Amino acid sequence: MQVFREDQEVLRLRDIAKRSSLHKATASRLVRTLESEGMVERLGDDRFRSLVRVPSKRRYRIGFATRGVDTAFSRAVTASVQRAAEEAGMNLITISNHRSAVTALRNAEMLIREHVDLVIEFQSHQRVASTIAARFLSAGIPVIALEIPHPGATFFGANNYQAGLLGGRASGRWVKRHWNGVVESILLIEESLGGPLVKLRVTGMLAGLRELVSGIEPVPIFEIDARGSLERSMEAVRKHLRRVPKRRTIILAGNDPMAIGAVRAFEECGRADQCCAVGQNGSLDAREELRRGNSPLIGSVAYFPERYSDEIIRLGLSILSGHAVPPAVFTRHELVTHDNVNRMYPMDGILPECLVGSLLP
């Protein structure tokens, strides 16, 4: 009943389900019961109005420190959290960390001064995670940490090693099919700022490749820290290619921008046929790249950031209500390829980034 926030407000069933964080079928059964008891009025086939006034719930103040909106993944997470918080009736204070450790620490102090009830921390620097978490926890403010673990916080994000295995196995299948199992060089492109947990993505990718392709232990492996950036990845791979001869190279990247940057460097010097790349995140940029039929990017492991919000807000409400929550909640992962990208994301180019994945089963 509390999802009806204003007198005479009319809601559709799907609005009721979203605001209450209930499955649509459960919401439908409850609404029918309330209607039969004269507490809800049905207006048409799928619209309802409350006939009683229910004391309103407290409107929580939530701090949301984003890493910025410089990548499609970050934009999707940010937009989806903002949408879900609004639907849940929360006051969301959104600030950007701009991928800066100094700014992230400054923002943490600001949110403490704002006396927020809970913080969603989405920042990139593992080295300041302990300090940020300690400041919030000493102020009595619970934290949900996205992607980068923060001590004492509830973690929400990728199962990095498993996501890596998916991508590595995909590269192994491709190599066996197209290069007869012959690999002459491996490029591991990482973001060191994220710390050892994020590094597990690339570790898992290498393990998945080795599962399916035998005899690659002597193959030279080159590690590049591209700091999560397409531009840095492109420049670093350019320099690498000037120093090495033409080789059949597998590119295993910790995110999609770094994978795409490496692909661009190979294309720029006429070596596109000498590489294949796998990224992580399944971002819009990667999906558009996969739609280029001749792209060396053969796949990206999807994290579905556009779906993060519902689970994050549900976690936040459970924490604020004093309920026990698990220390870590992982998103699911699926491999997006040339062959399935249009089936998995048929609404790309039609709906906003924050909504396209929310329509998937």
Q: What is the DSSP string of 167-226?
A: HHHHHHHHHHHHSTT---EEEEEE-GGG-HHHHHHHHHHHHHHHHHSTT-TTS-EEEEE-
Average pLDDT of span 49-67 = 83
DSSP 8-class letter at 163: H
Q: 361 falls in which pLDDT band (50, 70, 90)?
A: very low
Q: What is the DSSP string of 325-345?
A: --SEEEPP-EEEETTTHHHH-
Of 56-65, 158-167, 194-203, 231-240, where does mean pLDDT reach its minimum? 56-65
HSE, side-chain direction, 13 A CA sphere, residue 140: 4
Q: What integer pLDDT is reported at residue 197 of this predicted model?
A: 82
Query: Listing from the earlier edge strand, what are the strands of the sheet with 10-12?
Result: 10-12, 47-50, 40-42
Of 48-62, 285-299, 335-349, where does mean pLDDT reach its minimum? 48-62
Answer yes or no: is pLDDT of 360 > 50: no
Extract the tokens encoding 301: 């492991």
Extract the tokens encoding 245: 């001869």
Extract the tokens encoding 7: 């007198």
Beta carbons within 8 Å of 99's beta carbon, 6+ residues apart: 67, 68, 70, 123, 124, 228
- C-alpha of 45 from chain center: 36
Average pLDDT of span 139-153 = 95
What is the fold of 160-302? Rossmann fold (3.40.50)
Q: What integer pLDDT is reported at residue 359 of this predicted model?
A: 43
* 68-123 residue pLDDT tens: 877 788 888 999 899 889 888 899 999 999 889 999 999 999 999 999 999 999 99
Residue 343, classified by CB atoms within 10 Å of its CB into exposed (0-12), middle (13-18) or buried (19+), is exposed
Average pLDDT of span 34-61 = 85
Q: What integer pLDDT is reported at residue 353 of this predicted model?
A: 53
Answer yes or no: is pLDDT of 140 > 70: yes
Give me the sign of the Cα torsion angle 175, 176, 180, 183: positive
CATH architecture group of domain 61-158+305-330? 3-Layer(aba) Sandwich (3.40)
* 188-208 residue pLDDT tens: 999 988 788 889 999 999 999
pTM for the model stands at 0.76
Q: Which one-letter amino acid corresponds to residue 287?
A: R
Q: Give the rounded percent of residues in the chain with a pLDDT score beyond 90.
A: 68
Average pLDDT of span 276-294 = 94
